[in-house]
Amino acid sequence: MAKDQNSPQKQALVTGAAGGIGRALVQAFAQHGYNVLAVDHVPEPAGFAGAHYLQLDLETLATDAADTGRAWAQINALLCGLGLDVLVNNAAVQVLGGVDTLTMADWQRTLNVNLLAPFALVQGLLPKLEQADGAVINISSIHARLTKANFVAYATSKAALSGMTRAMAVDLGRRVRVNAIEPAAIATEMLKAGFEGQPAQYARLEACHPQGRIGTPAEVAALALSIASGDLRFLHGACVGMDGGISGLLHDPA
């Protein structure tokens, strides 16, 4: 049920807030009247006016009970006794490597940050989410369904995150809505930096998408806002593709 005008300010928690998509999420939710808790493992960058910034290491949160307890204390203090309307699990690491090069440490870090931390956050914040009749949005990836060489660990973690989204929706039922977004290439500063000095390669990446371009962080944020609203309550356990049509494209060199 949507809140009326006399309800307390809505609250959102966004992980991976310092990255390109994370910043867009923080900005979008803040502009739409949410009190935003922005979480990342790096010190607070400039430009987080209007949001509460928490420096938390999500890998430690997923593996260290003492650190987890401190994190809940910090988050609960900022929530001021109110519920949590939306949790956006956006933080992720992308360790590239093939079957013959990935180490167990690579795998453990990838799974800790990309899968176990989102689970720990949902589990730990479940009472706050229920209190606000809230929603969870997991930022998964097109790699959950379609991938390429040297993305073994990342693709596996995102496939598991999308699977966990569906399973959580079944497990939690009507208590909390859980959905995921599966973006393809998004024009973050990190992605652009990877193509520095290679404009032809970047143009190729754009051209291989049927829309002739790649997505923007603002588009991911707009979709997250729509899912978080009370207007799409029947959307539950969905993994929504946001890929400019590339997932339907058959690449045939012949």
Question: What pLDDT is attached to residue 31?
Answer: 95
Question: What pLDDT is attached to residue 158?
Answer: 98
Residue 117 tokens read as 């931390």
- Widest CA span of the chain, in angstroms? 62
Which residues have C-beta within 8 Å of that of residue 249, sequence separation ≥ 6? 208, 209, 210
Please tell me the distance from the alpha carbon of residue 21 to that of residue 137, in angstroms, as a whole number. Answer: 13
For 131-144, letters b (16+ CB in 10 Å) and e give ebbbbbbbbbbbbb
Residue 182 near residue 243 (C-beta atoms within 8 A): yes
Please tell me the distance from the alpha carbon of residue 215 to that of residue 47, in angstroms, as a whole number. Answer: 22
Could you list the pLDDT tens digit for every one of the 254 residues in the chain? 344 555 679 999 999 999 999 999 999 999 999 999 999 999 999 877 778 999 999 999 999 888 888 899 999 999 999 999 999 999 999 999 999 999 999 999 999 999 999 999 999 999 999 999 999 999 999 999 999 999 999 999 999 999 999 999 999 999 999 999 999 999 988 788 888 889 899 999 999 999 999 999 999 999 999 999 989 999 999 999 999 999 999 876 65
Residue 86 near residue 138 (C-beta atoms within 8 A): no
Question: What pLDDT is attached to residue 66?
Answer: 83
Q: What angle do CA 83, 87, 92 make, to 5 degrees?
A: 155
Residue 9 tokens read as 């300010």
Question: What pLDDT is attached to residue 72?
Answer: 92
Q: Return the active site residues.
A: 154
195-199 contacts: CB < 8 A, separation 24 or more?
Answer: none
Residue type, 245: G
State the pTM of this model: 0.94
Nearest to 1 by CA among 237, 236, 229: 229
Nearest to 188 by CA among 136, 141, 135, 246: 141
| Domain 11-242 classification at class level | alpha beta
The residues with which 51 forms a beta bridge, in sequence order, are: 36
Question: What pLDDT is attached to residue 192?
Answer: 83
